[in-house]
Structure 1
Amino acid sequence: MNEPTRPLIRLRDLKRIYTTEQLETHALDGIDLDIDDGEYVAVEGPSGCGKSTLLSVLGLLDEASGGEYRLAGVPVTDIDAEEQARLRNREIGFIFQSFNLIPEMTVRENVELPLIYRGGLTTTARRQAVDEALARVDMSARAEHRPAQLSGGQQQRAAIARALVGKPSLLLADEPTGNLDSASGERIMQLLDELHADGSTLVMVTHDPDYAARAGRRVRMKDGRIDTDGSVAA
C-alpha cells in the first residue's frame, strides 16, 4: 500500500492575535488547512478577514500566536527565528502587491538578493540563476534598469523573478495585480498560470473573482476563519 502524501503546508488551529491596551484582534482564529505540493490555491474574502495575515504567516513574515504550522514537514511553530529565516530563504518565494524592489538597485541586483542572503553559491552560479529567472519572466533586456525606469507590470515581473530565483517549493502572491492596469494584470496572471503549469505550488490572495477562478481551489475567509474551501469547477 502506498503511503499517503504529506501536504506541503499543514495548519492546525492556527491563530494570530494582535493585542493593544484597548483591544485584542483575532486576525486568524483557528485555521485548519492542508495544501499539497503542486496546488494552485486562491484565498478570497472581504477586507479585514485575515487573508493577508494568513499569507504573511505562511511566508514567515509574521509569527503565529498559537497552533501548528508545518512547511515541507518542518514544524515552523517550534523552531527559532534564525532557523525560520533559513527555511524562508530556502523554501518560499513572496510576490508583493507593491513590488518591494529596492530603488537604488538594478533589476539584476534585486533579483540576486535572495541568493546572496542564502549563501553557498559562487558569483557565477548566482549570475546563471538570475539570468534564468529574468528570462523566465521576459525581463532579460531590462536587467540593468532600476525600478523607476520600469512600468508597473515590468516591476511586478522583476519581483516574480526575485521570488523564483532560488527555486522555492512555495510561491506566495499577495494581490499581485492590485497595483496594475487590467492589461498588465492579465499578463501577470498568465505568468502565474504558466508557473503553476510548470509545477510550482502557488497560494494567491486576490479580491478579483475572475482571477480566483483560474486557481484549482478557492478558499474563502471570513472573520479570521475559513468560511468555504473547495475545488474550482472545470
Structure 2
Amino acid sequence: MIFSTAEMAIVALSLKVAFTATLVSLPFAIAMAWALARGRFIGKPLLNILIHLPLVMPPVVTGYALLALFGKQGPIGEALDAIFGISIAFRWTGAALAAAIMGFPLMVRAIRLGLDAVDRGLEDAAATLGASRWAVFWHVTLPLISPGLLAGAVLGFAKAMGEFGATITFVASIPGETETLPSAIYTLLQVPGGEDAALRLIVLSVVVSIAALALSEIFARRAARKVAGL
C-alpha cells in the first residue's frame, strides 16, 4: 500500500495538531485536576461541570461556540486580530484549540484519579521535613502521579487525533491548513471513487493510534516501576 505525498501531509498535520493540543493543555489539565482533587472553594461543582461539559455536548455545539468566540467577529477573535494580528478560525491553530478542548476533560479525569490515589502521608512527611509546597509537588506528588499524567496525555492525544465535529465546525476542512485525518476521510467518502484513498488514510490512522498506545504503555510501565521503587 503506497501513500501519496498529500496523504502523508495530512498525517503530518494531524500529528502536529494532536501534539500541540496535548502539550498546551497538559499544564492546565494538571492545574484543574489539582483544584478538583485538593481544592476547597465555592463553585467547585460548577467548575467540575464546566470542565466535563464537552464530553456530553454535541461536538458541533462546541465548534460553534468556538467560532462565535474566536471567529473574526467574535469578542476574543476580534481582540486577538486587532491587538496581535492573530487569527485562529480556519487555521491549524484553531484545529489544535478545538482538539484540546474536546480532549481536556479526559486528561483532567485521568490526572485527578492519579491524585486521588496518592498517599497523602508521603506528601505530609516531605512537608514535615521542611519541603515547600512546590518542592513537595515537584519531587513527591508529580512522580507519583506520572502514570496518570501519561494516561491523560495519551487520552488527550488520541481524542485530538480523532476529533471531527468541533474541528470541522470551527476551522472547516481546508487542504494543507486544517484538513486532518478524520475530515479528510469524511471528504473522500463523499466523493465517488474515493473509497480506496479513504481506506489508506484509515490504515494510517490505525497505525498511528496503535503506535501511540504502545509507546504510552511502555512509558507507563517504566513510570510505574519508578514509582514502586520510591
TM-score, normalised via structure 2 length: 0.24
Higher helix share: 2
TM-score, normalised via structure 1 length: 0.23
